[in-house]
Amino acid sequence: MADDVLALEAVTKSFAVGTPVEVEVLHGIDLTLARGEFVALIGPSGSGKSTLLNLIGLLDRPTAGRIALAGAETTRLDDRDLTRLRGRTIGFVFQYHHLISAFTAEENVMMPLLVDRGFPDATMRARARDLLERFHLGPWAEQGVASLSGGQQQRVAIARALAMDPALVLADEPTGNLDTRSSDVAFDLMREINRERGTTFLIVTHDPRLAARCDRIVEVVDGRLVSDRPNVATNGAL
């Protein structure tokens, strides 16, 4: 469909292909994410969530099946084109912020723009500053991120993920390293961006409290998609 940001069709992933120890860890995954969805991806440890996220994030290729991102058939792209598409279409948020500690908050948020364009300019700086202001981090824009609190660092990481105005944000346990209050602040910011910009979010989480606040819950067990259901509680509240 035209409004689909992501479409997976019969996606499988195997490791050690062609060897006696070949193992298939994802089995025929079909998944579609539309523009503006806010989706939780859940499942026990070892279920294949991380492998699936790597495929969706174009960090790895499927063994079989089709992945389309923002209308582009990714299985036909070479590594250079995959890198370009990933950088311009997907934002990443991790459990650990992975900020560059020697850089300021503003410089960290500018990094995706710098990687894409190759040189800094005033437009990049303005974009980074606007995002930091939006996330209540304006006073710390020129401060080294190493001196910020954990919650502040994660907000910088979310701002960095949004620098390119991506169609899709992949968040891997984005609040798993935060206390409850900081977790709620980070989640609320992502939710605001989702509703205001129509950005699609796929959030991997072990936290049932967080999953319960998403609009749709996708569950993977033993490499298979076993459940894909709307969250009636949140949809009814919208």
Helices (H) and strands (E) in the chain, counts: 8, 10
The pLDDT tens digits along the chain (238 residues) read 457 999 999 999 999 888 988 899 999 999 999 999 999 999 998 899 999 999 999 999 999 999 999 989 998 899 999 999 999 999 999 877 789 999 999 999 999 998 888 878 899 999 999 999 999 999 999 999 999 998 899 899 999 999 999 999 999 988 777 788 888 888 899 999 999 999 999 999 888 888 999 999 999 999 999 999 998 776 544 4
State the helix-helix crossing angle for 105-117 and 150-161, rounded to 10 degrees.
Answer: 20
Residue 177 lies in a domain: yes
pTM recorded for the entire structure: 0.91
User: Quick one: pLDDT at residue 104?
Assistant: 95
The domain containing residue 90 runs over which residues? Answer: 37-60+81-237
User: Quick one: pLDDT at residue 236?
Assistant: 44
* SS3 of the chain: helix, strand, coil, percent, to 5: 40, 30, 35
Residue 88 lies in a domain: yes
Residue 101 lies in a domain: yes
Residue 27 lies in a domain: no
> What tokens appear for 37 in the block?
């969805």
SS3 95: coil
User: Quick one: pLDDT at residue 235?
Assistant: 58
**List of residues 6+ apart from 124 with CB closer than 8 A:** 110, 113, 114, 117
Contact by Cβ (8 Å): 234, 39 = no
User: Quick one: pLDDT at residue 85?
Assistant: 94
In angstroms, rounded to a whole number, what is the distance separating the alpha carbons of residues 113 and 124?
6
User: Quick one: pLDDT at residue 234?
Assistant: 66
Contact by Cβ (8 Å): 113, 130 = no
Number of domains in the chain: 1
CATH number at residue 172: 3.40.50.300
User: Quick one: pLDDT at residue 126?
Assistant: 94
SS3 58: coil
In angstroms, rounded to a whole number, what is the distance separating the alpha carbons of residues 43 and 54?
16
CA neighbor of 177 nearest in space, from 209, 148, 156, 154: 154
- Integer CA distances (angstroms), 212 to 7, 35, 39, 170, in order: 24, 20, 10, 18
In the chain, which ranges are continuous DSSP H helix? 49-56, 79-89, 105-117, 122-134, 150-161, 180-197, 208-211, 232-237
Residue 138 lies in a domain: yes
In angstroms, rounded to a whole number, what is the distance separating the alpha carbons of residues 207 and 183?
11
Residue 205 lies in a domain: yes
In angstroms, rounded to a whole number, what is the distance separating the alpha carbons of residues 183 and 180?
5
Residue 11 lies in a domain: no
Residue 3 lies in a domain: no
Which DSSP category does 231 fall into? -
